[in-house]
Structure 1
Amino acid sequence: MTPVELSNPVYSDEDAAREHIESIRWPEGVTCPHCGVVKEGIRPLQGKSMGPGWYYCTSCKDKFTVRMGTIYERSHLPLHKWLLAFRLMASSKKGFSAHQLSRTLNVTYKTAWFVAHRIREAMADHDPEPFGGKDKVVEVDETFQGPSDVTFVNGKGWQKKRGTASKRKIVSLVERGGRAKSVKVEDLTTKTLKKVIFPHVVLDSTLNTDEAQHYKEIGREFASHEAVNHSQGEYARGKASTNHVEGFFSIFKRGMVGTYQHCSEKHLQRYLHEFDFRYSNRVALGVEDGERTSRAIAGANGKRLTYRRVNSGEAA
């Protein structure tokens, strides 16, 4: 994958955009998405009814473009606008709102909203390599997102209830000097946390958490378990801390409050995919904006775009 600068024609010219996506999706040559035949069995198609970018597979006798089998399939949005949307979302540390995307791409809000969610799906890593390993540290912590419940108090009016019972619960794993993985959970019981932690963290890792009781049993399964006591004002003890995962939460919360502002529980996991992706492909790991964008584009393969009809007839 070759990263490109924002001034590159791929963000404004349709043919350049298509060729760029082809180079990312098919680095070894054009491959049929129907049967998997490569190179020699593929020939370009040209005709009055077809624009550039059509191919014909001599094996399965079917035609295709680079859009097929991706988030762009059946989308009427030009590919260069898709690429610009990828770049804006991949390079904006705290996210890029659908309203701003609508203005920048000159499309409707509904189209921008839909494009953003499909890009988040492209950013999702549904089968990540396990975190940690010998002499490596994985930090685990939970946070809460969403509005608090309100209640009416005589003489004071409507007041927010204290506590986090009504908020959405998120558990994040951060490999120190590496990647992040966040999961929306229904509760913070040991049983639930085991389902999140054990499949994603190698057991010979060092696990760092806070003093919460639900981590104690889990910590016994790892090579080492270090817990810092936040309730006593302890945030670091030697190499033991959860400062990296707390830093991840700080970026996530500033993005959700300052950029996105509103997020339904239904879509929360998609936003987590987005923030995980940018953190796992950050500058500190040697990944600049252009390369990060290329990695996100590569994730679009195999993730079909589907439509839900709305009153206006547009996809949402």
Structure 2
Amino acid sequence: MLKFPIRKAFHIIYTMSCNKKGISSYELSRQLSLRQKTCWFFQRKVQEAMRSAGKNLLNGTVEVDEFFVGGPEQGKTGRGNEKKSLVVMALQVDAFGIHRCYAKVIPNASSDELGAFLQEKIDAEATIKTDKWSGYTPSKANFPNLEQEKSDKGKRHPLMHRQIMMFKAWLRGIHH
């Protein structure tokens, strides 16, 4: 049950789906003369409804890679990753580009964590292409078509690295 007019609800859904970088609940509140908290809660409900069930396994050709997400720490120099989140991403690719994508935050890049992600999201008959990280090697027992190639600074899997860059740019655009 809504506590505001249905037209405003559809306006929120439309605005969320059309804006490339999303829209803040403050801006929706200003545009629709609703409380910010109401807009925030409704946005969360819409996002939850739009979430994938994750039941469709990736098949065909699948590229897998892991990467860190997080900004620089205050007062530290260099590229440290102690406070960053590790994410593993899998892309189903075909002749037309990216078909589907799954990503998950994992505590570490061990063979247990990576293997669990592969089994949860990828069909056993899929051709999996990934880098030579040793955490993927034990998964060859469950995935006979797992191919490990030298990364060559991202040149071997351009769609994967483009997707990672777009994901990070999206995060910077929303959470800045």
The separation in 2 between residues aligned to 1:252 and 1:76, in whole angstroms, is: 34
Partner of 1:252: 167
The separation in 1 between residues aligned to 2:149 and 2:155, in whole angstroms, is: 6
Q: Which amino acid aligns with 1:251?
A: M
The separation in 1 between residues aligned to 2:34 and 2:161, in whole angstroms, is: 36
Root mean square deviation, CA, Å:
2.2
**8 Å Cα contact 1:169-1:185 kept in structure 2:** yes
Structure 1 SS opposite 2:55: coil
Partner of 1:84: 11
- Shift of residue 191 of structure 1? 0.7
Q: Which amino acid aligns with 1:235?
A: K
The separation in 2 between residues aligned to 1:121 and 1:164, in whole angstroms, is: 30
Pick from 235, 254, 278 the counterpart of residue 155 of structure 2: 235
Larger radius of gyration: 1
Answering whether residue 68 of structure 2 is matched by residue 144 of structure 1, we say yes
Question: CA separation of 1:118/1:224 partners in 2, compared to 1, >3 Å: closer, same or farther?
Answer: same
Partner of 1:95: 22
- Shift of residue 93 of structure 1? 3.1
**8 Å Cα contact 2:91-2:100 kept in structure 1:** yes
- Shift of residue 82 of structure 1? 1.9
What does 1:123-272 correspond to in 2, within 5 Å?
A: 123-132=50-59, 136-150=60-74, 158-160=75-77, 162-176=79-93, 177-230=98-151, 232-233=152-153, 235-236=155-156, 241=157, 243-261=158-176
Note the alpha carbon deviations across 1:9-64, whole angstroms, 9 max, x for none.
Answer: xxxxxxxxxxxxxxxxxxxxxxxxxxxxxxxxxxxxxxxxxxxxxxxxxxxxxxxx
- Shift of residue 111 of structure 1? 2.2
- Shift of residue 201 of structure 1? 0.7
Question: CA separation of 1:226/1:106 partners in 2, compared to 1, >3 Å: closer, same or farther?
Answer: farther
**8 Å Cα contact 2:88-2:103 kept in structure 1:** yes
Question: CA separation of 1:204/1:254 partners in 2, compared to 1, >3 Å: closer, same or farther?
Answer: same
**8 Å Cα contact 1:95-1:260 kept in structure 2:** no
The separation in 1 between residues aligned to 2:86 and 2:102, in whole angstroms, is: 14
**8 Å Cα contact 2:129-2:148 kept in structure 1:** yes
**8 Å Cα contact 2:115-2:136 kept in structure 1:** no
Q: TM-score, normalised by structure 1?
A: 0.49
**8 Å Cα contact 2:54-2:121 kept in structure 1:** no
- Bigger relative CO (Cα 8 Å, ≥ 6 apart): 1
The separation in 2 between residues aligned to 1:148 and 1:172, in whole angstroms, is: 22
**8 Å Cα contact 1:149-1:161 kept in structure 2:** no
**8 Å Cα contact 2:154-2:161 kept in structure 1:** no
Unaligned runs of 5+ in 2: none
Structure 2 SS opposite 1:202: coil
**8 Å Cα contact 1:170-1:185 kept in structure 2:** yes
- Shift of residue 84 of structure 1? 1.9
Partner of 1:104: 31
- Shift of residue 86 of structure 1? 1.7
**8 Å Cα contact 1:207-1:219 kept in structure 2:** no
